[in-house]
Structure 1
Amino acid sequence: MIGERVVQRVSSTRGFAKVAPHVIPALDRAVHRLTRGKVLVSAQMLPGVILTAKGARSGVPRRTPLACMPEEGGREWILIGSNFGRTDHPAWTHNLLAHPDAEISWKGTDIPVRARLLEGEERAAVWKKLLVFWPPYATYQARVEREIRVFRITRTS
């Protein structure tokens, strides 16, 4: 699909990495609220969730719109801490490391989840799937020295 390739090319640019983190989450939060959890703007490119996790230090719930890769069975999702290829790990990854019990809003349904950071061979296998799912992740990883964090979140109820 030509449209998908264009979106992937644009999302791989440094300009997109500078602007998108400020615009897309704010837009997603507003539209998500207005549609009572049924719509995420960014989900027009990739599937998405709203993650609610406690702040690593504050313990205050933080809501973050994120792209995700749903896994088979509808009980697990992969979250990618790409931060659009920016230097630092995104704050939500620190939050999940400190407080792995969280909640997601998936297609208008709130679901309690537990997050687990993927490492080693398990991460490598999932990373290969992620690059097929959304090729710009390779560009994001090439831009940064840190290893992009990848989490598997699993429904807890």
Structure 2
Amino acid sequence: MTFSHSTGTRGARKPGRVVRWFNGLALRRIRRRGGPVLGMRLLALTTVGRRSGAARTTPLAYFHGGPDRWYVVASANGAATNPAWYLNLAARPDEVEIVVDGETVPVRARELHGDERAQVWGRITTSSPQFAKYERATDRHIPVIELTRRDGDAPST
């Protein structure tokens, strides 16, 4: 199944200038040292802009899914619309890379659906309850994205 692109009719405000400022600080830290930022495990997700074709990098909380597998959530803090990085992934799911724990990893993105999403979502909301709050703030179905290392791509640093 593909990306759903669903939007809602209600939700929290999208993150503003303070969050963009924090994202810049978080990206520098992720690229320099990796590790948690303010207690959150973060990765740097680089997508290709669906309209511009330019590289776009966003820090995101992630959840381990096993070797060479990571999960990210397109919550936008519970906003009614999906974040821009999600739309970029939907347009070009095979043109993605992440920096995680100091390693640059080319990945493929896939949105989870049905029972598979429900199982992963349960693990995410158990370990990070704020995501359940985001879900309550909107009537949008919050996408869960699986990132897996692209076949044949060796680890790089």
Q: Is the TM value for this pair above 0.5?
A: yes
Q: CA deviation at 1:28?
A: 3.5
Partner residue, 2:50: 56
Question: Number of residue pairs matched?
Answer: 140
**Taking structure 1 as reference, are residues 36 and 94 closer, same or farther at Cα in structure 2, changes over 3 Å only?**
closer
**Taking structure 1 as reference, are residues 140 and 93 closer, same or farther at Cα in structure 2, changes over 3 Å only?**
same
Q: Distance in 2 between matches of 1:36 and 1:124?
A: 32
Greater shift in the superposed pair: 141-150 or 23-32:
23-32
* AA partner of residue 26 (structure 1): W
Give CA-to-partner distance per residue, 1:67-90, whole Å, 9 cap, x none.
Answer: 1112222x0110101111122111
Q: CA deviation at 1:29?
A: 2.4
- 8 Å Cα contact 1:103/1:112 also seen in 2: yes
Task: Provide the aligned C-alpha RMSD in A.
Answer: 2.3
Q: CA deviation at 1:58?
A: 1.6
Q: Distance in 1 between matches of 2:16 and 2:124?
A: 20
Partner residue, 2:117: 123
Partner residue, 2:21: 26
Q: Distance in 1 between matches of 2:21 and 2:136?
A: 26
Residue 62 of structure 2: SS of its match in structure 1? strand
User: Is 2:143 the partner of 1:149?
Assistant: yes
- 8 Å Cα contact 2:27/2:59 also seen in 1: no
User: Is 2:46 the partner of 1:37?
Assistant: no
**Taking structure 1 as reference, are residues 93 and 19 closer, same or farther at Cα in structure 2, changes over 3 Å only?**
closer
Q: Distance in 2 between matches of 1:49 and 1:135?
A: 19
* AA partner of residue 150 (structure 1): V
User: Is 2:79 the partner of 1:86?
Assistant: yes
Q: Distance in 2 between matches of 1:91 and 1:153?
A: 17
Using structure 1 for the length normalisation, give the TM-score. 0.79
Residue 47 of structure 1: SS of its match in structure 2? strand
Partner residue, 1:106: 100
Q: CA deviation at 1:66?
A: 0.7
Using structure 2 for the length normalisation, give the TM-score. 0.79
Give CA-to-partner distance per residue, 1:14-68, whole Å, 9 cap, x none.
Answer: 9xx659553244333235336743147x733221111000012221110111111
**Taking structure 1 as reference, are residues 80 and 21 closer, same or farther at Cα in structure 2, changes over 3 Å only?**
farther
- 8 Å Cα contact 1:56/1:98 also seen in 2: yes
Specify every segment of 5 or more residues in structure 2 that has no aligned partner in the other structure, as ranges: 1-10
Specify every segment of 5 or more residues in structure 1 that has no aligned partner in the other structure, as ranges: 1-13
